[in-house]
């Protein structure tokens, strides 16, 4: 593990920044260039021989991208971070680079639906077998291991029920078996949870969410030891889903306030969950910070805070749920999370509109289910907005 330099916000502000740039600018320049020129052919030779390390072509790396990667690695307290054009690009490139025909992957059933879709419908075409196991069924996870199992992939917390994977128990199952454990930690962030400290091999985030934090970029990142990330970085040079330099800059900028935003998301998430739980019109609330959540004790053990996503159920009626959302004045309807603006979504009509009702209910997506992602607006304003809309 890379030694951390200073506290979390000190690293968020200073790590990775290119301060020795020729203009002396305190902010890292956006190096908006697809190519990097050589002073002469001798320099090309030296690059090819590995005598000098320098930039060459945008798909192979860019200074602004590398700065953002160094900051993210410092926050996750690991050796390396590789940035991608989206969270899905991080997931698909990572899995493609590590899996070969004949391999087997185990994935938990309430992983992000596009990740599941990739494993079920795409990897299978390349002769890579996939077993989907019930989240938190540790016996089923252990029983799914085969001699050719190469990867165990899961998320924690999950969407939309915020189930928590017990990372200590995972370590007990996978340690010493030569199977790579990958965790999508998007909903937790490196502020609230450090899966690598629990023996997870690679962590993935959709940086579109809390890391970017301003609902203005798409990106993804994979983090871990260099021996694991190097082949993924090499593979990315071929698959090409690289982050744009301007996007890398937005990420660098957004990360400077990361801890402040997370403190606010955690506080407001908890207060909103408690408010909703006592409201007579709310049937059930799912939030890992509530004692009523089935994984509250595990969450308390391995997380610092529980984030800004609160899922709840109104009466089991689509129209009642949609009318409630239409009455909101500050909270906007939209399918993301982790940004400064609060967003609310009705999974049955937004993310799962292409499923028939039976399929949707089998996945636990009921008619009255609502997912709220609190932003950093004043907590009392968010609660007042919910209260008037529920009334």
Ligand X SMILES: Cc1ncc(COP(=O)(O)O)c(C=O)c1O
Q: Using CB under 6 A as the criterion, which residues of the chain lie in contact with ligand X when the complex forms?
A: 86-88, 112, 155, 159, 184, 186, 206, 208, 218, 220
Q: Which residues contact 274 (CB under 8 A, 6 or more apart)?
A: 290
- Minimal distance in Å, beta carbon 187 to ligand X? 6
- Minimal distance in Å, beta carbon 87 to ligand X? 2
Catalytic residue among 209, 233, 261, 360: 209
Phi, psi of 81 (to 5 degrees): -135, 140
What is the spatial distance between Cα 336 and Cα 346, in angstroms, rounded to a whole number? 11
Q: Which is nearer to ligand X, 15 or 185 (CB)?
A: 185
Catalytic site includes residue 184? yes
- Minimal distance in Å, beta carbon 113 to ligand X? 9
Catalytic site includes residue 59? yes
Q: Which is nearer to ligand X, 305 or 347 (CB)?
A: 347
Largest CA distance in the chain: 75
Catalytic residue among 71, 80, 110, 112: 112
Q: Which is nearer to ligand X, 109 or 277 (CB)?
A: 109
Q: Which is nearer to ligand X, 87 or 288 (CB)?
A: 87
Q: Which is nearer to ligand X, 134 or 327 (CB)?
A: 134
Q: Which is nearer to ligand X, 354 or 358 (CB)?
A: 354
Other CB atoms within 10 A of residue 32 CB: 12
- Minimal distance in Å, beta carbon 194 to ligand X? 17
User: Which residue's CB comes closest to ligand X?
Assistant: 87
Catalytic site includes residue 209? yes
- Minimal distance in Å, beta carbon 157 to ligand X? 9
Catalytic residue among 46, 59, 284, 304: 59
Contact 284, 313 (CB under 8 A): yes
Q: Print the SS3 string covering the chain.
A: CCCCCCCHHHHHHHCCCCCCCCCCCCCCCCCCCCECCCCCHHHHHHHHHCCCCCCCEHHHCCHHHHHHHHHHHHHHCCCEEEEECCHHHHHHHHHHHHCCCCCEEEEECCCCHHHHHHHHHHHHHHCCEEEEECCCCHHHHHHCCCCCEEEEEEECCCCCCCCCCCHHHHHHHHCCCCCEEEEECCCCHHHHCCHHHHCCCEEEEECCCCCCCCCCCCCEEEEECHHHHHHHHHHHHHHCCCCCHHHHHHHHHHHCCHHHHHHHHHHHHHHHHHHHHCCCCCCEEECCCCCCCCCHHHHHHHCCCCCCEEEEECCCCHHHHHHHHHHCCCCEECCCCCCCCCEEECCCCCCCCCCCHHHHHHCCCCCCEEEEECCCCCHHHHHHHHHHHHC
Q: Which is nearer to ligand X, 196 or 221 (CB)?
A: 221
Catalytic residue among 80, 103, 166, 184: 184
Contact 251, 217 (CB under 8 A): yes
- Minimal distance in Å, beta carbon 91 to ligand X? 6
- Minimal distance in Å, beta carbon 32 to ligand X? 22
Q: Just list the catalytic residues.
A: 59, 112, 184, 209
């Amino acid at each position: 593990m890379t030694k951390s330099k200073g506290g979390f916000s000190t690293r968020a502000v200073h790590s990775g920044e290119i301060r020795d740039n020729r203009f002396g600018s305190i902010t890292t320049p956006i190096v908006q260039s697809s190519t990097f020129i050589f002073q002469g052919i001798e320099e090309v030779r030296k690059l090819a021989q590995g005598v000098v390390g320098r930039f060459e072509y945008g798909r192979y790396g860019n200074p602004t991208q590398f700065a953002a990667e160094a900051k993210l690695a410092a926050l996750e307290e690991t050796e390396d971070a590789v940035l991608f054009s989206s969270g899905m690009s991080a997931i698909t490139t990572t899995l493609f680079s590590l899996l070969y025909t004949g391999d087997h992957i185990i994935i938990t059933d309430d992983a992000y639906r596009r990740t599941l879709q990739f494993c079920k419908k795409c990897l299978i075409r390349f002769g890579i077998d996939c077993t989907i196991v019930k989240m938190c069924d540790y016996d089923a996870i252990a029983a799914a291991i085969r001699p050719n199992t190469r990867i165990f992939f899961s998320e924690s917390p999950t969407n939309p029920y915020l189930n928590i994977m017990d990372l200590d128990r995972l370590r007990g199952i996978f340690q010493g078996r030569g199977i790579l454990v990958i965790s999508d930690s998007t909903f937790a962030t490196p502020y609230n949870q450090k899966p690598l400290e629990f023996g997870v091999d690679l962590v993935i985030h959709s940086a579109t969410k809390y890391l970017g934090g301003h609902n203005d970029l798409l990106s993804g990142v994979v983090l871990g030891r260099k021996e694991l990330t190097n082949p993924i970085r090499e593979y990315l040079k071929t698959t090409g889903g690289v982050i744009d330099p301007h996007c890398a800059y937005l990420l660098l900028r957004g990360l400077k306030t990361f801890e402040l935003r997370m403190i606010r998301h955690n506080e407001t998430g908890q207060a909103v969950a408690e408010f909703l739980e006592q409201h007579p019109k709310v049937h059930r609330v799912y939030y890992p910070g509530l004692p009523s959540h089935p994984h509250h004790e595990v969450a308390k053990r391995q997380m610092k805070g529980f984030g800004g996503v609160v899922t709840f159920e109104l009466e089991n009626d689509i129209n009642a749920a949609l009318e409630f959302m239409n009455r909101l004045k500050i909270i906007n309807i939209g399918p993301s999370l982790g940004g400064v603006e609060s967003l609310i979504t009705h999974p049955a009509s937004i993310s799962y509109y292409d499923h028939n009702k039976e399929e949707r209910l089998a996945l636990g997506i009921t008619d009255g289910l609502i997912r709220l992602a609190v932003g950093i607006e004043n907590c009392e304003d968010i609660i007042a907005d919910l209260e008037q809309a529920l009334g």
